[in-house]
Structure 1
Amino acid sequence: MFKNIHLLSLIMLSILYSHIDLVYSQSLKTYQIKSGFGSPLPPSNAINDIVVNNDTIWFGTERGLCFTTDDGNSWFNLANSYGFDNKGVSAIAIKGNNIWVALGYITYLDNEPVQTGGGIHYSTDHGNTWHYIPQPVDHNVIDTIVYGNNKVIALPTTVPQFNITFDIAISSNYVWIASWAGMLRRKHIHPDSTTWERIILPTDNLNYISPFDSITFELSPVANNNHKVFSIYISNDSTIWVGTAGGINKSTDGGTSWQKFSHENQSQAISGNFVVALNEQTWRNNKIMWAATVNADNPNEIKGLSFSFDGGESWKTTLLGEWVHNIAFKDSIVYAATDNGLFRTSDFGNSWTSSGDIYDTESLQKFALRECYCVGIKGDTVWYGGPEGIAYTIDSPLKPFGTQWKIFRTYESVLNRNKTYAYPNPFAPDDESTRIHYAIENGSSATQSVTIRIFDFAMHPVRTIIQNAPRQTGKEYDEIWDGKNNNNTVVANGVYFYCVETGNSKQWGKILVLR
């Protein structure tokens, strides 16, 4: 999951720069979308980003980009086609006909996983034609950036490792990317432009910079948390907000001068300096900036939400203790995607309602984990994305928030194939659950009774998952096993068998438990 990053991983930056010495070209490739790429299911159950654009809802998954134009009745997957591969999508931005999509994946350095930038796709005709450029990097030399009368020394980012684009924003003339160790960059939005300009932000010990200052510091993500950039929001062409591992930076002159807001430099401050999401709410002619502010280095920081009614001069905090990944709005209502699910407030954080369990009463699908990474709003429909899949609920006076859910999960169909499987497999019960997938074949009756039992290697009964549960014929189902036995104790490592009994039919499968 791309958004779930910790500051400790940045300790490896100096190791990375001492191990790898590469230069990447910025060549452009173009792909034309053709018909015939529709799908009944999304490409992945791990969802990193949601962007609603009129009737089209775009999803960044861990296996590529997809969208729906009919609220999930059909899906259009761009993974492994049209220039896209099966890398995960780490960010999406849309403005008019311009769509920008960042990719990310995992590589390994000294046997440790490293989040890596996979390049950027963009379209200028609302997704009909796509172009691809590799992850923006620098030449392998320490160079200088002209800033007013200053020449600022800039440490080059020469590799895509740790240089992953977590957020994108589009202004009238520029595309801006927040690329963590790749720092803050912008490129002219014209397709012929290929140069990414590095943007200078204050260092950790400075609260403000302008071109009229005398600058003596280096632009470096290794030396400064405030140069590790994670989030960006553009209010207008003049006002730009940037979230880093050192606070919130605001420019009112299009990205030239910057003021930094941190947990330490204001009396009414943000809750934490690690700013993983930014979004602006418009309500009754008010502009309210909301930020997902996670604790960084200072032991007095706490994760939660911070928001400002006065352009960042003072902040209020709410939802303290929750790791917030994403923020969305519907008029006065604020939605926060967190590790503990989706939260809703209509009184600016004085009280919150939790989404609770995500369960689809029609398909009988259920999310085993509450984690919510992203949220998108289309009218009264609230879209929810996370490691378990995609879901939506209606939030209206007639249908209160979270009372009814529609879930979308991808799977390998076994209908009319007389088989079953479990996924993930192997699985670790301390961290996850596994699902037993099966189908009820068409028969003379509309429903059949289903029983699923788990056995150990010696064929001793371990757990009954469901017993004589009615299931409709001609449909496919998942049943969740959390790795516990009938005594609610997590089972030992080993091979377990399960049996799906439907009428006179029995289908067997195997599950490997690794704790």
Structure 2
Amino acid sequence: MKLILSFLLFFSVCQAQEHRIAALNGQADILAQTQLQSNGIVDIVAAGDRIWLATGTGLSVTTDGGENFQTFTQADGLGRGEITALTVRQFDEISLIIVATAFDTVVAEGNLPVGGGIAYSLDFGESWVHSEQPGLTPIQNVTFDISIHDDKSVWITSWGGGTRRGTGWEYGLPLIFEKNPADEFIHDPLCNLNHRAFSSESANGVLWIGTAGAINKSLDDGETWMNITHQNQENPISGNFVVAIDVQNVGDDEYIWAATRLVTDTTEASCSRLLFPGSAGQFNGLSVSNDGGFSWHTALDDKRIHNFAFDGATVYAAADEGLFKSIDFGQTWAEFPPIVDATKDVQFLSERIFSIAISADRTLWVGSPDGLAVSKNEGISWDIIRGSVKTGQGGEPRTYAYPSPFSHTRHNQLGGSGYLRFQYNTKDNTQVTLRIYDFAMDLVKEVVSGKSRAAGEFYEVWNGYNEHGELAANGVYFYSVELDGDGVYWGKFIVME
């Protein structure tokens, strides 16, 4: 187990773990079941009048533009844990929805991710058919992407399980998967980077599989494969670690988009050699091809891309560094300004954008560690949607702070700082003063003073610095929310780096 831990930590800490942090930020125990149940949105699929969201606490769907959500979890027949992969495809009158889940477990080597299996629904989530995680063990075997091919086969990409082909859903049976490595070698995710699979796409009769070692293309339903690497082409992809693949069709032209990252070669003691090696000259970015993958143009150098979406000839890229848009097939890019909801006077407290989708009415749906943002005018204005426990209702206190414990370097990262929220409600027009105290009740920071608020639910934010511009030390802190004409309400939180 320890032999494969190093690479898994590289991926799961940099990507999957940040999704788990996002779920924590989302406060899983949302009271109103029609709200979002998690603010960590790792994938979005727009399918007809339904918008499907892969979140930290389950699969959510809205049919009314985000006014209400229904969320499916293990209790409804899905696997245990967060949603790590999501796909939807229409076959005649059947809408096939497939998800993968994952959770953490504690073993001798530490805290490790576990694949929670694959589940599908043919009735928009009313019932589910679940299969256990394919592979020798579910530990360190998380599925990161799913695609449905023209022949109705289901292709999943997982770290420990590699690339696998599934069948059986058309008969209402649990999916049965068989290994289908995208090369001629025996399945070996320890020593073969091309067997550590992360992304999958089926389009125009072609299968595309992205791994830690290559982009793989099949024209014959997975019987044979062409391996595309940074080393084997004159105009190559930026890096061999391929975390997302998508296809854009514009007229008769097809563009293959890949989120490609630098691979740092490591060999374990049991490996005589590492197959599909090479890190020289690689860099993080995106790679796009309009000749079937034989040559590539690279862009957004040093950006860590997560996802793509298309609106005709326009492409959007979701990245750790923000949201980007190109109207010339990736030759030039514009970066969106920080996402702000001017009506609610709130903004995303994160630069990271995990996912993006465009619905039939050209609405943009953007997922982040800090909620969902919706724009009906190409990003000119935004509606930010978050789930949160309502203060002062159902026995809840008038204020609470989240996330707690709070880490300045991990939570709500924006502009180089992390942010803690203080949620509260007001009954009438008032002025708000919020102060933070250490365990000895010495003043640490006056966050707001005499801020005007109408009646409603609000929050204030703190960046972790005290009145002297120093980061607050680890420990227990108290805070007061003073509402003019109402009273003073107290709460506490923990700072833990």
Q: Tell me the TM-score normalized by structure 2.
A: 0.85
**Partners of 2:471 and 2:422 in 1: CA distance:** 17
Q: Structure 1 residues 354 and 266 mapped into 2: Cα distance closer, same or farther (>3 Å)?
A: same
What corresponds to 1:199 in structure 2?
Answer: 180
Whether 2:382 is the aligned partner of 1:405: answer yes
Between the two structures, name the one with larger relative contact order (CA 8 Å, sep ≥ 6): 2
4+ aligned runs moved over 4 Å, structure 1: 10-13
Find the partner of 1:436 among 422, 425, 428: 422
The Cα offsets for residues 156-191 of structure 1, whole Å up to 9 and x where unpaired, read as xx1101211111111232111111220111122423
State the SS of the aligned residue for 1:9.
helix
What corresponds to 1:448 in structure 2?
Answer: 430
What corresponds to 1:161 in structure 2?
Answer: 139
Residues 417-428 of structure 1 aligned to structure 2 (within 5 Å): 419-428=398-407
State the SS of the aligned residue for 2:133.
coil
Q: Structure 1 residues 386 and 498 mapped into 2: Cα distance closer, same or farther (>3 Å)?
A: same
Code of the residue aligned with 2:166 in structure 1: it is: K
What corresponds to 1:360 in structure 2?
Answer: 341
Q: Structure 1 residues 201 and 498 mapped into 2: Cα distance closer, same or farther (>3 Å)?
A: same
Q: Structure 1 residues 340-349 or 283-292, which shifts more? A: 340-349
**Partners of 2:134 and 2:99 in 1: CA distance:** 13
**Partners of 2:5 and 2:320 in 1: CA distance:** 14
**Partners of 1:465 and 1:111 in 2: CA distance:** 41
Code of the residue aligned with 1:119 in structure 2: it is: G
**Partners of 1:514 and 1:167 in 2: CA distance:** 33
Verify the 8 A CA contact 1:291 1:305 in the aligned structure 2: yes
Find the partner of 1:235 among 193, 198, 203: 203
**Partners of 1:232 and 1:85 in 2: CA distance:** 20
Whether 2:13 is the aligned partner of 1:44: answer no
State the SS of the aligned residue for 1:335.
strand
State the SS of the aligned residue for 2:472.
coil
State the SS of the aligned residue for 1:166.
strand
Larger radius of gyration: 1
Whether 2:89 is the aligned partner of 1:110: answer no
Q: Structure 1 residues 79 and 181 mapped into 2: Cα distance closer, same or farther (>3 Å)?
A: same
Residues 78-117 of structure 1 aligned to structure 2 (within 5 Å): 78-84=72-78, 87-96=81-90, 97-117=95-115
**Partners of 1:235 and 1:12 in 2: CA distance:** 26
Residues 150-229 of structure 1 aligned to structure 2 (within 5 Å): 158-171=136-149, 172-188=151-167, 189-190=169-170, 191-192=172-173, 194-202=175-183, 217-229=185-197
Give the length in aligned residue pairs. Answer: 444
CA RMSD of aligned residues (A): 2.3
Q: CA deviation at 1:38?
A: 8.1
Q: Percent identity?
A: 37
Q: Structure 1 residues 254 and 388 mapped into 2: Cα distance closer, same or farther (>3 Å)?
A: same
Q: CA deviation at 1:470?
A: 2.0
What corresponds to 1:283 in structure 2?
Answer: 250
Verify the 8 A CA contact 1:363 1:477 in the aligned structure 2: no
Residues 7-406 of structure 1 aligned to structure 2 (within 5 Å): 8-9=7-8, 39-84=33-78, 87-96=81-90, 97-137=95-135, 158-171=136-149, 172-188=151-167, 189-190=169-170, 191-192=172-173, 194-202=175-183, 217-236=185-204, 238-297=205-264, 298-378=279-359, 379-396=361-378, 401=379, 403-406=380-383
What corresponds to 1:466 in structure 2?
Answer: 448
**Partners of 2:41 and 2:10 in 1: CA distance:** 27
Q: CA deviation at 1:321?
A: 0.4
Q: Structure 1 residues 86 and 218 mapped into 2: Cα distance closer, same or farther (>3 Å)?
A: closer
Q: Structure 1 residues 12 and 330 mapped into 2: Cα distance closer, same or farther (>3 Å)?
A: closer
The Cα offsets for residues 16-71 of structure 1, whole Å up to 9 and x where unpaired, read as xxxxxxxxxxxxxxxxxxxxx98331111111111110110001111111110111
Verify the 8 A CA contact 2:79 2:101 in the aligned structure 1: no
Code of the residue aligned with 2:425 in structure 1: it is: A
State the SS of the aligned residue for 1:160.
coil
State the SS of the aligned residue for 1:129.
coil
Code of the residue aligned with 1:253 in structure 2: it is: D
**Partners of 1:12 and 1:174 in 2: CA distance:** 27
Q: CA deviation at 1:500?
A: 0.6
**Partners of 1:305 and 1:175 in 2: CA distance:** 26
Code of the residue aligned with 1:99 in structure 2: it is: I
What corresponds to 1:208 in structure 2?
Answer: none
Verify the 8 A CA contact 2:80 2:116 in the aligned structure 1: no
Question: Gapped runs of 5+ residues in structure 1?
Answer: 14-36, 138-157, 203-214
**Partners of 1:457 and 1:44 in 2: CA distance:** 31
